[in-house]
Every structure is written in C-alpha cells, then in structure tokens.
Structure 1
Amino acid sequence: MKFIFFNRFFAPDLSATSQLLSDLAFHLAAKGEEVVVVTSRGLYDDAAAELPARETSDGVTIHRVYRSRFGRHFLWGRALDALALYLHFAVAAMRLAARGDCLVVMTDPPLLSVVLASAAWLKSCHLVNWLQDIYPEVALGLGLRFPPPFGALLVGARDLSLKFAACNVAIAERMAARLLTLGAPPESIAVIPNWCDDEGVRPRPIEDNVLRAEWGLSGRFVVAYSGNLGRAHEYRTLLDAAERLREEADLLFLFIGGGYLASGLRAEVERRGLAPMFQFHPYQDAKLLPLSLTAANVHWISLQPTMEGLISPSKFYGVAAAGRGAIVIGDPKGEIASLVTRHDCGAAIASGDAAGLAALLRRSMRDPETIDRWGRNARALLDGEFGRRRSLLQWETLLASLQLSSVDAHELDATCVSARRAAE
C-alpha cells in the first residue's frame, strides 16, 4: 500500500498543518513505508516562493502541483486558489494512485475530501479524512452565506465523503462528536490529537533564555501569542484588557507569527496607542521554537465560541511543551479551556470579558508561584496524555489496520478467483 497525502503546504513550509504532515510523512518513510505528498509549490508566508515541482526528501516523494496566484487575504482569491488546487490535486490523485493505495486528505483547502473521495472511488483506494476543521460549518459560523441550493449541496457532498471514508480522523473529542451528528459512521471515527516537537521544546527557566535579552524582554512580564491568528480567533478582548493595563510598565504582549487577523491586530495596536506594550515578530524557524516559546511567562490562546467542535487550537501543545501556562479566551466551557482549568495549567476567560482578563493578568504579574505551577502542570499533562510519539504511534496503528484490511480483501479476491477457476 502506498500512502498519498494531500495538503496545501509541506516542508520546508513552517505553517501548522505543514509541520504536522511533514512529521507524519517523514516518520512513516523512516519506517519503510512508501510515502507520496501532493502539495502546492508555495509557502504560507511567502507569496512569491516557487518550490521545485518534484523532489525526494528523506524518503518522501513530493509532487508540487500549483502555486497560489490570487492570494489568501481576500475571499475571492482564496476561492480561486482553492478551485485550482482541487483540479490539480484530483488530476494528481488519478495519475499517482493505484488500486488499494491510501489517500490521506487534510482540510486545506477546505472540503478537499469532497473532490478526492471521487478519485478514491474511481481508483479503488482507501480514503482517510484528516480533519483539522469542519467545513462548510466553519465558513457559516464566520458569517459566510452560500446562495441556495449551493450550501445544501456542499453539505450533502461533504457528508457523503465522510460516509465513504475508511476513516475520519478528528483532532479532538468534540470534533469527533460533531462528526457523529453529521452522519459519519461511528466505527470510522478516530481521535488523534495534533502535536508539537515536545522533545526539542522543553521547559527552560526565564533567566536562561538568550532570546529575551536579544528581543529586549528582560525584566518584563511577557504574555505571548505564537502561531496563526486567523478568522476563527479574536483579539479585541486582549486589546481592551491592555488598555486597562497601561500603567503596568513591566507588562509586554509578544506576538510571533502571522495570519489573516495579524495585520488588523497590529494596526489596532497603533491606533489605540498601545505600541509600547506590544512587540511583533514573524514566524520563527523551527530551530528557534525552544527559545521563542519559552521567552514568555504565559501564553494566550483564542477561539470564537461558535467554532467549538469545528476547530481545536493545537498551539496549546507547543505552549505546554515549553512548560508555560495558557490563558484561553473564548468559551470558558470549551474543549481547550476546560482542559487547562481541569488540569490547573492556565485559566479561561470569556470572549469580551476584558475586565476579567485585565484582573487576571494583574494578579499573574504578582504571583510567580501560580505561573510556575501552571507551567509544570502543563508539561506534565502533555507528557501524560499527549505528545508527538503517542500521536505518531496512533497514526501508525491506524494505517497498519488499513493495510491489513487491504491484504485481507486481496486474499479474498484471490480465493474467489481460484474458486471460479476450479468451478470452470
């Protein structure tokens, strides 16, 4: 069985889904599996990049079929790029897949499984949906409206792709529960959490972090955000809290990353006169993550409450690996919010509760024991219940079961053929 993965980005890209896919693909190749990745020729944070159309890296064969030409900052541009990727990915699937292979389809661009389910059916392949989010519900939750009957057709086609799949991999329990309501067969649903480099990223004392001195963070209480700030997140609660904390000269908000809302956050910081309280940096090389994630005293994570069960903020795992607590802004009863409060590795603040967030940050600045305890508990939670090795092993087990079922099916086919020949 050949494993063919589909996603918009792959190594050397540094975006979240790229790093996850790269980890899994290289891990399987190192185990002796035949691994192919079909991806775009671009990079998430460099619209002008054009990577080689084909190469082999650490045993993984990479086919790059398209480069974004319309841009991701406008919905029409994203839609046109997605349509082009659907076409190129479908053609690649028909060209590269053989009977019995496994197509592992991520959700960038959205609803990619709808297109590739047809290819899997035509080529008699196994389909595995690796769901980082659930569309079109995410789009609907963000206010996008589809003209009738287009929306209903999308939902119907997506539901069919879930029912056809050999396996639907959710990244969190609430997402798995949502898949059940959408008609995915219970036996097809598996929960495999996302992960981070929890071996490379380890807890580090604040005073031992050279990046703090380099970035001028020494002596400051740093509240960091690391990663993508997208449409499903929000920053107004944080900004409103920052306005209430102007007198706290030692407080600094550190933003590392990018995303659709990143430029809006920066502009709003300038407009409100909060620039002295904020520092912005682009995505950092993976080699710097052990330093950038531990440069903060605590991290903040956000998710709009309407996105619960549709998206799960995986950046929590990197924060926990670094031995830092997390302040989750969103639904206090949401999945990640409940996790951090249940295990005492952070706090939950309702979206819009700027006064509550300001009070929490003011207390945290004066309570280093709580900050340290949050960090210790976060790392203990990661080591006990999550982690890259655990998730990669779960993927190995899942894909091995598909290989076994494929072998059994082939043996059954061979038995049937022999029986027919004997009868003749």
Structure 2
Amino acid sequence: MARILVLTELFYPEKTSTAYFLTTIAQGLVTDYPVTVFTGASLYDSQASSLAQNTVVKEVEIHRCRGTTFNKNWLPGRLVNGCTRAISIFFTALWQCHASDVILVVTNPPLLPLMAWLLKTLKGCNFVLLVHDVYPEVLSVTGLAHSQSLVYRLMQEVNRLIYGQASRIITLGRDMQKLVETKLTQPVEGKLICIPNWAETEIIYPVDKQNNSLLQRLNLVDKFVVLYAGNMGRTHDLKILLDAAETLSDTQPQIHFLLIGAGAQKQDVEARVQDQHLPNVTVLSYLPHEQKNVTLNSCDVGIISFLPGMTGVSVPSRMYNQMAAGKPLIAIADNESELAQVIQEEGIGWLVSPQDDDQLVKLLTQIMNDSELCNDMGHKAAQAVLCKYQLKHAVSKYQSLFRELIPHNNISSPVDTK
C-alpha cells in the first residue's frame, strides 16, 4: 500500500523554517495518506540527545538517522553534516521503501535529492522535489563556487538529471519556477507546480507598536524602527544595512536598525557595530518561538535583504510572517524576484536595489514621518496573508498534487497511534 516518504535533514521539534514547513506539510498530508519521515539527528534542539530514534508524532512516523553534528555556521562542518546525514537517510529509507511509495524530498542539503533519485532507480518509486534553494546557482551568488568551476558544472548536470527524473517539482515562487524550467531538457506540462509558503497566522497578528514589550525593554518605542528578523546567512546583504546605519547615525538618529537572528554573518555584523560604535543598531539573538509575534511587531517597517542575482534562487519564507504582523516591507532584491513581485502586486512596501545604500538612506528618510502610509501598507499586508498565504491554502495544493500521483485504491490507513 502506498505511503508518502519525506526525506529532510531537519524536522520536528526543531524551530528552523525548513523543519517547520516540512513538519506542517507532513501533518497536512497524513489526513489522506500514511506519512513516514526520514530525517537527521537534531542540529539545533538543546535536548537532541533525548529525542527518540523512532517515534510517531500526530500520526506521522519519524525515523531519525545518524550523522555528524558540526556547527552549521562552519562551512566545512556544514558540508560534512549534509553528506553524512543524506547518506544515512538513504540507507535507512532503502530498507523501507517500496515501489508503491512516493517520496517528497527537499533540496537542502543538495545531496539529498540525489538520494531520492537513487531510491527511485533501485526501488522503482516516484519522487517529488521540493525546491527551497536552487543549486548550484546559490553557490555562485555567495561566491562559494565559480560558474565555470568543475564543482559548479558537475552539480549543474546532476541537478538536470534529478529534475528530469522527478515526477513533480514544487517551487516556492514564480521566479524560481522560471529558473527551474530552464534546467528541464524536456519540459512536461504540469510537472512544475508553484506552491508558496505561508504565514503562521495562528500565532502572528498585528499588535500596536506602543505595546511591544521588546521595544519597551530596549527603549525604542519612540524611534522609527527598521527590523531585520531571520537568518543572517551568506545570501543576505547585511552590509547595506550597516552602511545605511553609519550614514544615518548622525543625520537621522531617530531611525534605528534592529537586527534579530543568527547565521554565518552574525559575528561579522556584531564586530562592525562594536568597532564603529553604531548607536543606531541593536543586534540580538532569536527570541524564543513563543515570542515570535513580539519580534515581528517590534518595528515600523520590516526589511528583507538579498545579494544581487538571487532571483529564482531562493524565496524568503519570512516575508509572509512579517506581512501577517501588519508591517510594510522594504525589499532589497532584484526587481524580478518573487519578493519584489508580491510587494508590488499588493502595494505593501518599497523596493531598493541590492547594494545601493544611498537609495535605502533616501527611502528611510522619506518614510520615517509618514505613519499613515506605513499603517496603510501594513494593513494591506495582513489582509493579503489572510486571502492568499495561509496554511490551508498550501496544504490543499499539496494534497491535490499527491492525489494525482497516488491512485485512490492504493491508499492505506494512516499510522495508528493508539
């Protein structure tokens, strides 16, 4: 009897965006099909050693596979983690996979989709590819691999093979769908499906800035606060924020940058703020998950910044939560990106060219005293989420996709947890 097998490096109870989205998708699909997840040992959870190797959570069967657990912000360690965990997931799934099963595999780490293709080759099962980041393009943007290098070209050919063998390919944005389409040597109608991520509307909603406990604690309630909340990874342009802050520190001290998160660039950001004595920048670690609404409401405007060339390579899931908090957005991104398209279509913010800190300074100076405009855009953002970017919208599309792939008479009962 058919099952859905999910291959992902990160899963419940971790709080990363990948873990959250894959967990929620699995729990949405288990209403129709039995779902079994093959994942790695926790890289983030403080109680990782206490997690059961095999367990069932909300009817989803979870198998935790072995693998290294080096610091993810140390690049060599991250590469080793990705390889060891992908291989471990493959061998664990190999013994349980059947031809009637359908695999859902995410692109991170980049070796994992190759494991799904091997399972298809050896067991005859189909697989669905969920694209979170497009490889090898993301390596080129971040300077980790030149587009003419052997590694880049090899990854390009391997990914063309994987894309060709996938039964369906799910992209998170229209720009990503266009990029992935260029990798298909034989385009197939209906193979590419765009399913955007969603906002956590059950815990995130607009709250008046004056009542924000974080801003009260930081004495920032009376400032015009620009919030960057999320991963401070290699694909994000944080330099533009610090350059703008340096320019504005004397001319517009009313504007304050609040940076909350973690990632490969965080130490460099903290070092520059300290070395240059930037009084208008505050850098914090993630607040606990239960305070996520406090975090996203601690501003007048949210900001998401990417390096140039990221169109189609990645779609920031954080934008939906920031929208749900009823805050306008500044996108530092290419004009063709999904982020830019959503902001323009919904009328919920502004676009700034990547690495153009002068443009960012001018924009912030213009809008800092226009609370009516900011409030109007924030209201539109929250309404757009309720209309288009809720969990129920995404789950419905995932369910429809798998109903096409799994015949009705080949469905078994979900896992019995009693």
When normalised by structure 2's length, the TM-score is 0.91
Aligned partner of 1:227 among 227, 230, 249: 230
Matched, 1:206 2:225: no
Q: Which residue of 2 aligns with 1:181?
A: 182
List runs of 5+ in structure 2 lacking aligned partners: 412-418
Q: Which residue of 2 aligns with 1:159?
A: 160
Which letter does structure 1 place at the counterpart of 2:179?
Answer: R
Aligned pairs for 1:133-282 within 5 A: 133-145=133-145, 149-183=150-184, 185-247=188-250, 248-274=252-278, 276-282=279-285
Q: Secondary structure at the match of 2:402?
A: helix
Which letter does structure 2 place at the counterpart of 1:322?
Answer: A
Q: Secondary structure at the match of 1:245?
A: helix
Distance in 1 (alpha carbons) for counterparts of 2:190 and 2:37: 27
Structure 1 pair 194–104 and aligned structure 2 pair: CA distance change class (3 A): same
> How many equivalent residue pairs?
406
Distance in 2 (alpha carbons) for counterparts of 1:161 and 1:129: 9
Which letter does structure 2 place at the counterpart of 1:368?
Answer: S
* Deviation (angstroms), 1:272: 1.8
Q: Secondary structure at the match of 1:394?
A: helix
Aligned pairs for 1:15-414 within 5 A: 15-29=16-30, 31=31, 33-44=33-44, 51-145=51-145, 149-183=150-184, 185-247=188-250, 248-274=252-278, 276-404=279-407, 407=410
Distance in 2 (alpha carbons) for counterparts of 1:327 and 1:404: 45
Which letter does structure 2 place at the counterpart of 1:103?
Answer: I
Distance in 2 (alpha carbons) for counterparts of 1:49 and 1:272: 41
Distance in 1 (alpha carbons) for counterparts of 2:284 and 2:14: 17
Distance in 1 (alpha carbons) for counterparts of 2:243 and 2:100: 55
Write the deviation string for residues 198-251 of structure 1: whole angstroms up to 9, x where unpaired. 232111221233333234332222111111121111111111111111133332
Q: Taking CA–CA contacts closer than 8 Å with sequence separation of 6 or more, which of the two structures ends up with the larger relative contact order?
A: 2
Which letter does structure 2 place at the counterpart of 1:119?
Answer: L
Structure 1 pair 150–278 and aligned structure 2 pair: CA distance change class (3 A): closer
Structure 1 pair 331–236 and aligned structure 2 pair: CA distance change class (3 A): same
Q: Secondary structure at the match of 1:96?
A: coil
Which letter does structure 2 place at the counterpart of 1:56?
Answer: V
Q: Could you tell me whether the CA contact under 8 Å between 1:42 and 1:67 is conserved in 2?
A: no
Higher-Rg structure is 1
125-134 vs 62-71, which deviates more? 62-71
Write the deviation string for residues 273-319 of structure 1: whole angstroms up to 9, x where unpaired. 11x22223322333222221112111110111211111111211011
Q: Could you tell me whether the CA contact under 8 Å between 2:173 and 2:315 is conserved in 1?
A: yes
* Identity level (%): 27
* Deviation (angstroms), 1:48: 7.6
281-290 vs 146-155, which deviates more? 146-155
Which letter does structure 2 place at the counterpart of 1:130?
Answer: L
When normalised by structure 1's length, the TM-score is 0.90
* Deviation (angstroms), 1:190: 0.5
Distance in 2 (alpha carbons) for counterparts of 1:178 and 1:28: 27
Q: Which residue of 2 aligns with 1:5?
A: 6
List runs of 5+ in structure 1 lacking aligned partners: 409-424
Write the deviation string for residues 20-71 of structure 1: whole angstroms up to 9, x where unpaired. 1111112223x25311111111234769866332222111111111343333
Distance in 2 (alpha carbons) for counterparts of 1:406 and 1:386: 32
Distance in 2 (alpha carbons) for counterparts of 1:24 and 1:140: 30
Distance in 2 (alpha carbons) for counterparts of 1:203 and 1:395: 28
Q: Could you tell me whether the CA contact under 8 Å between 2:145 and 2:151 is conserved in 1?
A: no
Which letter does structure 1 place at the counterpart of 2:254?
Answer: D
Distance in 2 (alpha carbons) for counterparts of 1:263 and 1:52: 33
Structure 1 pair 394–87 and aligned structure 2 pair: CA distance change class (3 A): same
Structure 1 pair 179–185 and aligned structure 2 pair: CA distance change class (3 A): farther
